[in-house]
Amino acid sequence: MTSPLNVVPSEHDVNSGVRNAGAIAKGLGDVLADTYRLMFKTHAYHWNVEGPLFFSLHKLTEEQYQNLFEAADVLAERIRALGQLAPSNLSAIVEDSRIKDLDGQPSAGEMVADLAKDHETVAHRLHALTKLAGDHGDPVTEDLATARAAFHEQAVWMLKAITAK
């Protein structure tokens, strides 16, 4: 008899009409990697921001990292719903992410500009995922990617509005 603690997660077939679930799961995994990296960066900026805009930036980044944390769970669960395994180690997240760290300690303005750039990066990836999902008969992932892209595009707008001249 197998112990309940010896069960190892595995991939499985899901017959929902989605074609090429592996490619869609890979796209979701890439977005998940970016989301996780951006969540950490946003949280770190939240902790370290200083200056006259401290309170507003502190609150904005808090709202954003909380949203990103919740999104990471939704993305991972969609990967599992497609019968694939979600990333299970940090090295895979770092390797698959296009989000990069700045060198040194950025100013509040550099933090804002960096986050805006990163949200644009994730929005681009989500647009590509939307197309991929639509092309392969996966309206669930298509809707998820569309909603996530809307969040990132709004984040870009809000962050860029802070530094507008």
pLDDT score, position 140? 97
pLDDT at 128 exceeding the cut of 80: yes
pLDDT score, position 131? 98
**Tens-digit pLDDT profile for residues 91-122:** 999 999 999 999 999 999 999 999 999 999 99
Average pLDDT, the chain: 94
> C-alpha angle 23/21/2, rounded to 5°?
115
pLDDT at 84 exceeding the cut of 80: yes
Q: DSSP secondary-structure letter at 5?
A: G
Amino acid at 49: V
Q: Which of 58, 162, 79 is nearest to 113 (CA)?
A: 162
pLDDT score, position 43? 98
| CATH number belonging to the domain at 19-163, selected among 3.30.750.80, 1.25.40.80, 1.20.1260.10, 3.40.50.720 | 1.20.1260.10
Q: Which of 12-26, 75-89, 110-124 has the lowest mean pLDDT?
A: 12-26
When pLDDT is averaged across residues 2-27 and rounded to a whole number, the result is 81
Neighbours of 123 (CB within 10 A): 21
pLDDT score, position 7? 65
Residue 14 token pair? 């899901």
Task: Identify whether the C-beta of residue 78 lies closer than 8 Å to the C-beta of residue 30.
Answer: no
When pLDDT is averaged across residues 78-103 and rounded to a whole number, the result is 95
Q: How confident is the model at residue 1 (pLDDT cuts 50, 70, 90)?
A: low
Judged by DSSP in three states, 108 sits in helix
**Tens-digit pLDDT profile for residues 138-153:** 999 999 999 999 999 9
Distance from C-alpha of 72 to C-alpha of 36, rounded to nearest angstrom: 6
pTM of the model: 0.92
What is the total residue count of the chain? 165
Q: Is 53 exposed, middle or buried (0-12, 13-18, 19+ CB in 10 A)?
A: middle
Q: Which of 17, 37, 30, 132 is nearest to 83 (CA)?
A: 17
Task: Identify whether the C-beta of residue 65 lies closer than 8 Å to the C-beta of residue 46.
Answer: yes
pLDDT > 70 fraction of the chain, expressed in percent and rounded? 96
pLDDT score, position 18? 84
